[in-house]
Chains A and B, each alone.
Chain A
Amino acid sequence: MLHDGVIIFTAFAYLGLLFAIAYFADKRADAGRPVIASPYVYSLSLAVYATAWTFYGSVGRAASDGVGFLPIYIGPTLMIALWWVVMRKILRISKQNRITSLADFIASRYGKSALLGGLVTVIAVIGILPYISLQLKAVSNSFTILVQYPEIIMPTRVDAAPMRQDTALWVAMILAAFTMAFGTRHLDAAEHHQGMVAAIAFESLVKLLAFLAVGVFVTFGIYDGFGDLFARAAAEPKLLAMMTPLGGVAGGYASWVWLTILSMTAIMFLPRQFQVAVIENVDEKHLSKAIWLFPLYMLAINVFVLPIAFGGLLTFGDGTQADSFILALPLRADAGFIAVNSTSTTSRPFVFVMFRYSTNGVTVTESSVAAQSASMVWSMFVESAGNLGASGSIQSGIAIAHNEADGANIHFELFGSDGKFIGGSSNIQIPGRWQTSMFLNQIPGLPPIPSSFRGVLRVWSDRNRFSRPGVSVTGLRGRYNERGEFLFTSTPAIAEVFATTSSELLFPHFAIGGGYETEFVLFSDNGSSGTVYFFDQNGNPLSLGLQ
């Protein structure tokens, strides 16, 4: 969907903006008009508590135990209620003694022990390492997801994109450069790092807006508000259980309390927290605003966590990639099938859909899918060449739709180009009203497909129950061209045995969003009426923006 170049350019533009803000703030400070002398900037800088990992970790946790993640933010709120008593004292002591770090503070409290100061520093450095690596992982993950995401609308994403250069390394180097330029460059330890604080405050604003934007999009864009989202989630027993997680999946009240206590200490003793709250504080009076603004910030950034987690679980079905819901949800596309019911069997309208795929605003491919009656047995030509994602690689896919209320059994058989039987899957149970699309190498139960293969794929549905109308099938064929763009076309699937006559026509596959667009064409020579239904992959009616 997005080109690497666009992502890299945006990332660098953003980093450039942060550098510019820091530089500007430093200049203003030198000129004697500090920008950080504001309770609002101070409050926002405290939000360094919510790191890059907040985006992934909170949603990931919420997707496994509902509100179980909230103590991480409620704990600090409780602690901050005591800031009026505790923090003012710390601020005064630190100002008097020109304290420069948490280690310095603790050492000075115990008779200026250099040994203790060193010990605290070493503990902090060791403790912070996994933390930093988590942050870098968050950043490089984001990059990978954005680069790879929905080129292919298939249920399990093919890990096709070649291993990129290690983004984490580059990010670490840029961050180090930032620290040198705006952190350690100042020799006077008592001086405030105005540029750094200004950049942190700006980032906090961006974090909040980004989180809210995704939350609003998921809650009100994909779903019809909180009520709709939670009602749908409540229909799933697993998600319903997550709405009353305490004493259950969240590990009971004990883990809730411990997480609260842990977070209460974190807000006081995380080195970065001490840095922004104490060392970079320019005026004790800022506390009276920060005491409620910062908790308010934490509340706001968490309002949509559970809706995003539930939306993700509803959309993607399971929580295996829950950490990346916040990125994956807005990028996701709808896929499903369309059923056309005509009132008469003799004058069916002629119908087909065209769908096209664009990337970076350029339409790179377009294809049509013809309507199919359901059938018991289908066969289609399949081909596989190279690793999908590499230039010139080809992989056949299949889209199957089943528009019966009852479930069915399907199974696959694969034949070589010489007609020799290669292997077959066991019976796969499919639910009623269902659609899927997958690549040849994703079909469960088939033997491994050689990297260069041409042959015939056969799909059987309920072969012992010929009274059933069966399924509709279409072939899809994806190819990466020499510019790395994903092209596809539909390929015909031939119905070997027709089921009992049904006036219903099915389009086994359509896709909307994530660069996909589908056009629905319907014409008739002698006038006929009927109904068109749109279903998602689970057979739920889809409400789409029709034009």
Chain B
Amino acid sequence: MNDHKSRSQRFVALCLLGIFMFNYPVLALFNVSGTVFGVPVLYLYIFVAWAALIALMAWVAEPRGRDRL
């Protein structure tokens, strides 16, 4: 089950990515005043990054094509 192993690795990588994105110093980059599309920068960043992380998790989790469970 080589596929399972690589999927596990991808998930661990996503977790690390998430920890990186939602932590100092990356958060500090966005902890600035000002708005983008009328939404405060930090608020927008957190939700966009969060949504992106979830999208990646969905991409890795969902069985696609040949590599079904």
Q: Are B69 and A288 within 8 A (Cβ)?
A: yes
Is A126 close to B, CB under 8 A?
no
Interface of B is mostly: helix
Q: Are B38 and A303 within 8 A (Cβ)?
A: no
B38 is contacted by which of A227, A245, A296 (Cβ under 8 Å)?
A: A227
Chain B interface size, under 10 / 10 to 19 / 20 to 34 / 35 or more: 35 or more
Q: Are B39 and A230 within 8 A (Cβ)?
A: yes
**How would residues 76 to 105 of chain A score, 1 for a CB under 8 Å from any chain B CB and 0 otherwise?**
011111111100000000000000000000
Is A291 close to B, CB under 8 A?
yes
User: Contacts of A66 on B, CB cut-off 8 Å?
Assistant: 42-43
Kindly provide the distance from the CB of B8 to the nearest chain A CB, expressed in whole angstroms: 5
**How would residues 238 to 254 of chain A score, 1 for a CB under 8 Å from any chain B CB and 0 otherwise?**
00100111110000010
Q: What is the total number of residues of chain A having a CB less than 8 Å from a CB of chain B?
A: 42
A141 to B3, CA, bound (A): 51
Kindly provide the distance from the CB of B66 to the nearest chain A CB, expressed in whole angstroms: 15
A234 to B36, CA, bound (A): 13
Q: Which residue of B lies closest to A290 (CB)?
A: B61
Q: Are B12 and A67 within 8 A (Cβ)?
A: no
Q: Are B50 and A234 within 8 A (Cβ)?
A: no
Q: Are B28 and A246 within 8 A (Cβ)?
A: yes
Q: Which residue of A lies closest to B23 (CB)?
A: A257
Kindly provide the distance from the CB of A247 to the nearest chain B CB, expressed in whole angstroms: 6
User: Contacts of A64 on B, CB cut-off 8 Å?
Assistant: none
**Given A78-B15, A81-B57, A253-B24; A231-B38 close (CB under 8 Å):** yes
Interface of A is mostly: helix
User: Contacts of A287 on B, CB cut-off 8 Å?
Assistant: 61
A230 is contacted by which of B38, B46, B51 (Cβ under 8 Å)?
A: B38
Q: Are B19 and A67 within 8 A (Cβ)?
A: no
Q: Are B8 and A243 within 8 A (Cβ)?
A: no
User: Contacts of B41 on A, CB cut-off 8 Å?
Assistant: 243-244
A78 to B24, CA, bound (A): 15
A78 to B18, CA, bound (A): 6
Q: Are A227 and B37 within 8 A (Cβ)?
A: yes
Is A295 close to B, CB under 8 A?
yes
A321 to B47, CA, bound (A): 26
**Given A226-B39, A244-B42; A253-B11 close (CB under 8 Å):** no
**Given A260-B22, A292-B58, A299-B51; A81-B14 close (CB under 8 Å):** yes
A256 to B60, CA, bound (A): 27
Is A112 close to B, CB under 8 A?
no
Q: Are A244 and B31 within 8 A (Cβ)?
A: yes
A227 to B36, CA, bound (A): 9
Q: Which residue of B lies closest to A250 (CB)?
A: B31
**How would residues 47 to 64 of chain B score, 1 for a CB under 8 Å from any chain A CB and 0 otherwise?**
100110111011011110
Q: Which residue of A lies closest to B57 (CB)?
A: A292
Kindly provide the distance from the CB of A509 to the nearest chain B CB, expressed in whole angstroms: 34
Q: Are A253 and B54 within 8 A (Cβ)?
A: no
**Given A67-B46, A74-B22, A77-B18; A225-B38 close (CB under 8 Å):** yes
Q: Are A285 and B69 within 8 A (Cβ)?
A: yes
Is A414 close to B, CB under 8 A?
no
Which of the listed residues A71, A85, A244 has the most CB atoms from chain B within 10 Å of its own CB? A244
Is A157 close to B, CB under 8 A?
no
Which of the listed residues B41, B55, B58 has the most CB atoms from chain A within 10 Å of its own CB? B58
A299 to B60, CA, bound (A): 19
Q: Which residue of B lies closest to A294 (CB)?
A: B54
User: Contacts of B33 on A, CB cut-off 8 Å?
Assistant: 240, 243-244
Is A191 close to B, CB under 8 A?
no
A74 to B69, CA, bound (A): 28
Kindly provide the distance from the CB of A412 to the nearest chain B CB, expressed in whole angstroms: 41
User: Contacts of B60 on A, CB cut-off 8 Å?
Assistant: 84
Q: Are B54 and A227 within 8 A (Cβ)?
A: no
User: Contacts of B19 on A, CB cut-off 8 Å?
Assistant: 78
User: Contacts of A246 on B, CB cut-off 8 Å?
Assistant: 27-28, 31, 42
Q: Are B28 and A82 within 8 A (Cβ)?
A: no
Given contact pairs A78-B19, A231-B35, A292-B57, a sample of 6 additional A-B residue pairs in the complex whose CB atoms are under 8 Å apart: A84-B61, A226-B38, A230-B35, A253-B23, A289-B61, A303-B47
Smallest CB-CB A-B distances: 5 pairs: A227-B38, A292-B58, A81-B15, A243-B40, A253-B24
Q: Could you tell me which B residues sit within 8 Å of A by CB distance?
A: 7-8, 11-12, 14-15, 18-19, 22-24, 27-28, 31-33, 35, 37-43, 46-47, 50-51, 53-55, 57-58, 60-63, 69
19 pairs of residues in contact across A and B, judged by CB atoms under 8 Å: A67-B46, A70-B46, A77-B50, A81-B18, A82-B15, A85-B12, A231-B35, A243-B33, A244-B41, A244-B42, A253-B28, A257-B23, A260-B23, A289-B61, A292-B61, A295-B50, A295-B53, A295-B57, A299-B47
